Structure 1
Amino acid sequence: MGSMNNEPKLSFIERDTIVVTRKEIGQDFLHPEKVRLQLSDGGRKNPIDIGAFAYTVRQPQENSHLSHLPTKVCEDSFKLSRRDLLNSIHDYVATTLNRDTTVGTRLRDFANILQWIDSSGFSDAFDSESQSREAYKAWKAELKHRIQSAEAKITPKTANEKQRELIKLFEIYWGTDKTKEIIREIPIIKFKRKEGEVPEERNVRFATKTFLNLARGLKHFVMSNESFPFLLKMPDYECYVFPSNSNSCITPYLREELFSYNYLEGRLSTAEEYKLKCPRNISLKEAQRELDKAHNNLLKVNNDPRNINRLNYASLAIQSYMQLFILMTGIHRTELRQLKYDESFTLESDLLKNDFRAVKMRAGEREVAYHLGNRKGLEIFKEYIQLRNWLLNGVNCPYLFFTIDRNGSYTDSYSQLKSDNIYRVYRSVRGKFFPHSFKIITASQVRKYKTLVWNELNVAQEVIADSLNHTIKTNHKYYAVSSPEKQQEEFGLFFESAKAAATKILERKPSQKIPLKIIDGDTKSSENTNIASGHCDDFQHPEAMEDAPPIEPNCMSQIGCLYCEHYVCHADQEDIHKLYSLLYVIEAVREMATDFNHSDSLLLELNIRIKQVLVQISEKSERIKLLVENVREDVMEHGILTPFWEFRLERYEQMGVVV
C-alpha cells in the first residue's frame, strides 16, 4: 500500500555565506541572512550561522551550530522581516562586553528558541508586539509542560532560564520598555531557590583560604612584576602558572596540559618532552619550532608589565579581595556596588575605625559601618587598596570596587559593578582552583552562617546584632533559624488568613484607590514599628480600615496589614522592597501550587492590593516611580528578597508549597 502522506517533500539548499568576526559584524550588511560569525576564543573553531535565522525552515542537524558548513535551509521559507532581527543580533554581538564564550552560548540559546518558534507555528513572532506576546505565552506553556513531562523532563530552574532567554532576545529586538509590555502580567516560572541554605562550615573555610591565597599570590605577582611562569602557593598545594587562558596551571581540579610547558618544574618543555607528550608523530625539529614560539611569547609577555595576561590575573586578584570583603562583612550586593572610595581609607588612623561608608538600601539611606573584625581583616583591606591603586594606574574611579571595561582587550576606563557580576568570579575559579561543584557563598548565606555559628558559640546577642548592622530584634526576627514546629505554625497562620478571605474574594472588586498612609521616606517617623510589609503606627492593635475586609488584619500573620488602619507605607527603598518581596512570594505560591484555581482565588485579592499600593507610591514623583521600577527588577526578575520573605519562601518550599 502506498503512502497516504501527500505533504510536499522539503528541499534544502546550501547558501552562499560570508564569515565575519565580532569586530566586523557591526557594519551594515545588505544581506544579513548570509552572515556567519567566527568567534575567537572558547575553543569554537567553526562559525555560527546566524544568517540562517532568516529562514523559518532549517534542516535539523545534530550540533548544527558547531558545523563548519552553512546550515541548509528551505529557500522558500525566507522571511524578509527577519533581517531586522538579524541586524539587532549583530548590534548585540558588536556592542556587548561579554566574552566570546558567553556570546556563543547566547546565540546557541537563541537558535534553540527560534527552532521551537518556527516549528510550532509562531514564525511571525517578530512581526508585531502582539505576536511576540502570543509566542511568549506559548513558550511558557511549553516549558511548564516539559516540567511535568516524563520524556522531555526539565527542572523548574532550567525552565526559568529558558524563559528568560526569550525575554533577552525580545530585549535585543524590541528594547527594554516594549519587552516589559510584551511580558506584562505573565509571571516568570518559579523554582526552589537554594540561596537560603546555610553553607557548610568547611566550604566557608575553604573559600576564605582559597580566595586569600589567590588574592595575595596574584597581587604579589603583578605588583612585583614577576616573570611567567610564577609559583602560586595555595593552602594545600602549589603550582606554576603560565600565560594561558585555559591551561595556565595544574591543580587538583585541573589536569589538562599544553605540550610546551613543564608544569612540574616551571619551565618550557624540551623538544624531547614535547614530542613525547604530543599525540601526533612529529619530529624533534617540529617540536622545537613550537617551543620557539612559546619562548618568544613568554619574552613578549614578560617584557610588558601591563600585558593582558598579567592584567587578567590582576583582575582575578581584585575579585578575590572583593569576595573576602563579602565573607568578612556579609555585605549585600546592592550595598557593595554603592561603596565609594575615599582617600582616607589609605590612612592608618581611618582604617582603625573600620569605617566604610555605603548607602544601606533597606535602611532608609542611612550610612552604616562595616567592621572587618580584627587586625587581619584590616591588613587584607589595605592590601586591596594597594592593588587597586596599581591597577587603576592613576585613573580616577569613585567606587571602592569596580569592573574593568573591555573592548576586546582591557581599556583605561572603569565602571560601577553590576549586581549580576559580583559573584562571576566563581565561574573563573571553578574547575581550576575550586571543585567543579562548588556553590557560590552569597552575602545572605554569610550573614546566616555568622548568626548560626555565633549563636552556637553563645556569643552575646548585642555583639552579633552590632556586627551585622542591625538591632537584636531584627536579628531574631529575620536571621535566626526557627524550629520545624515554629515554621509549621507560621505557615499555618499565613494560609489561615488567606483561607478566611476565600469566600469574599470572588464577590468583591478591589477598590481603585486605597486609603493608606503613604509617607515620603524623608519624613517618616522613627516611632513606627518595622513590619514585614512596611510599617505600623500602633502595633498589636489591628483595626480594619473597612467593613468586612477580604483579609482580616492580624499582627501575627503579616499579610492582612494592608487592610489595617494602622498600616503605614514609606515611599522609600525599604518598604517598596518589602512589598515586592511579599508579591514575589504570593506569585510563587500561585504559580506552583498543585490546585491552581483554589490558590489563585485565595491570593489574587492580595496580589492586586499590593500592586495598587505600588501604583500609588509611583504617583508621588518621577524619582519615586524610577525607584519602584528599579526595586521591581531586583525582586521580580532577580529574586532579591528581604530577609523576612526570603526565609518565609524557603519554609514554604520545604513544606512542598512551592516546587
Structure 2
Amino acid sequence: MNHNFSVRRTRLLELPLAVGIELSSPEEIVVKFKHGKTLDIGSLCYSRRSSERRVIGNGKLVDEDSISMERTESVRLLIRHISDEVGAGIIRYTTLFSRYWVFVKFLDWSDANGFSSAIYDVDSAKTSFVAYGNWLREKILRNELAQNTVSQIQFCVFNILVDFLGLDEQREDFNLVCMNHNAANATELPADGVVARVLALCGNVFDGLANLIINNLPFPHAISVPEYIGCKNNKLWIFPTNLYFVSPSMMESRATRRRPHWQYNYVDGKMSTLEEIAKTESYCNRQAAMRVLKKGELQLQRVNSDKRNGWRIIFASICMNLFLLLLLSRSGSNWEQLRDLPWDNDYKVSSKRQGYRVLKWRAKGKRISIVIPVSLMPDFKRFLKVRDYLLGERECEYLFFGLGPSSQGEPSQIYDDVLRTIYETLRRIDPGLPSVSARQWRARKGDWFLRNYDVAAAAVALQNTDETIKNSYSSVSDDTQCEEFGVFFKGVEDAILPVATAEPSETPSAVGACKSMGNPKSLFEKPPIEPDCQKNEGCFFCENYKLHADERDTRKIISCRYCLEKTHHLTSAEEVNQAVIEPIFKRIDFFLGEIRKRDAEMVDRVTREVEEDGALDNYWLSKLEMLVELGVVN
C-alpha cells in the first residue's frame, strides 16, 4: 500500500525536560539524550510512518492523515515518562536510550501489523506483544536473531508496557524467551598486530601534539610516525590550516581538494618555493603565486605569535582525544565510566600491583579511582597539562570534555562519537587502520589479567564482578586462539593407536593406555594438569599417553567426561573450572574427533550408551556410584 509521506515540522528537546515546560504539539518533538543521541518520539503520533532511516537533524516522514488525538496524548505522556526516568538518574541515560529505541521498534512493528492502538490501549498492546513475541521466535528459528538478543528485546518492551501503560500481567504469562547464559559470547579480542598498529600511531601523534602545546613550539611542526606510513624521514609535518597535514596516502588527491594549500611544502615542513608552486599549474602568473606565499607566511607568523591561537586550541583538543584512546586501551575502563569520569586536580597515586598505579581523587562527593600502567603515568601528566591549557581560566567537572565546533565553545561532556572521530583522524595518516572498540580494549585488558593473574585481579582492574569477567571478557584473540588450538591438538594423532594393536611396554589405564608408566613427560609448557601418573586426567597432557580407536578406550574417555560433567560443580573456584576442567573437556573432544574419523557410528553409539543409558566403563562407573552413595551427586 502506498502512503503519501511528507516532511513534518520538528523541534529538539533535551532530556530531562526543564521544570514547568509545556509539551504543546508533541507530534513535533524529537528528544535528545545526554550523550547526544536522539529519538523521534513525536512521529509516534502518526500511525503511518516511513520505514526509511531519517536524516540526522530531521524527523521521520509521516502520513499526516494518520494522526489521532489518542496517539497524541499518549505520546505526550510517554515523553514525560522518559524524562522522569532520565531525571531520576537511577538508570544510565545510555541504557534508557537503548530501551526506548527498542520500544519504538516494537511500536513500529505494531502499527505495521494492524495493532495501531498498542501505544495507548493496554489490551491492544498485550495482544500485539504476544504476536511480536511469536514473530521474534521465528527470527530465532531462521537464525536471524540470537536467543539472548530476543530475550533482551522482550524484557525491555515488557518493562515499559508495565511502567508506562500499566500492564498488570507477569512475565510468565507471556512465555518469554529466556536468556541462555551458556550462549553468551565473550567479546572478540583484537589481533595483536592491530593493537600494535593503533597504539603506535596514536602514541606518536599524541607525543608530537603534546610537545607542540606544552612547549609552545612553532609551526610547521614535525610529528614522528611509524616507518610503514612512508613519510620522509618518518616525519609528518602539520600546519595551522584546514589541511592539517598531507600524508603519503593523501598526496595523489591533494590537487583535487578545494584548498590544496600549495604554499606549504608538507613533505619537508617549510614554505614552498615559487618553482614548486609553478609545477602545480594552479596559478595563472607569478604575482598570484607570490600573493599566496605571502598569505601563508603571515598565517604562520600570526599563529606562532599567539600562544592561545584557535589553531593551537584545535590541535590541543585532538591531543586530548588521542590520550582518551590511549587511556581506554591501557586502563581497561568502561567507556561510559570514562566518559562520565569527574575530575579534581588534587589526586594521589598509589601502588596497587607491580607495574600498575592507582589514581585516586574526590569529585562530586565521591571517591574516584582508576588503575593505569606505570608506563602511562608520564603521558597522563602531560595530558593534564594539555587539559589545563584547553581550559585556560575555565573549569570543567569532567576529566575529558569537548569544546564544540572548531573547539571554540564552552567545555562540555564528550559524546560517544568522539571515538569515531579519533579513528577518522588517524585514518587520514593510515587509511587501512582498523578500529578497536571500547569493549574490545576492555576485553583485551581483562584477558591480560586473566592470563597473568586470575579472575579476581581482572575483576578489580576492570571494576566488574567475577561473573561478568568470565562471561563477557574471557575471550582470546585470533592469534592467541590459533596458538592455543595448536597446543591442545598437539600429539592427538600420534596418541591414537589402531584397533587391536598394543605396544610392548603399554600399560592399560582408566583413560586409555600408557607406553611408559612411571615416566610422565608433559606435551607442552605449563599444562592445566601436570602429568604425574597419579591423576588419570593428567594423562591427556602426557607425551606417553596412548588411546586405541576401539570401543573399549572410547568408552573410557566418554565415561571420564561424563563423570567430570557430573562433578565439576563441586569445585567452588570457578577459575579452577576454567583453567583445568575446560581444557580436559577440550582435549577429550579432540581425541573423540580423531576416532570419529575412523568410526563415527561407534563413537555416537557409545556416547548414547554412556550418557543416556548409564553404561559407563567399569572404573568410572564404580567411581560415580561411590559419589552417589555419599550423596555428592545425583
TM-score category of the 2 structures, normalised to the smaller one = 0.3 to 0.5
Q: TM-score by structure 1 length?
A: 0.44
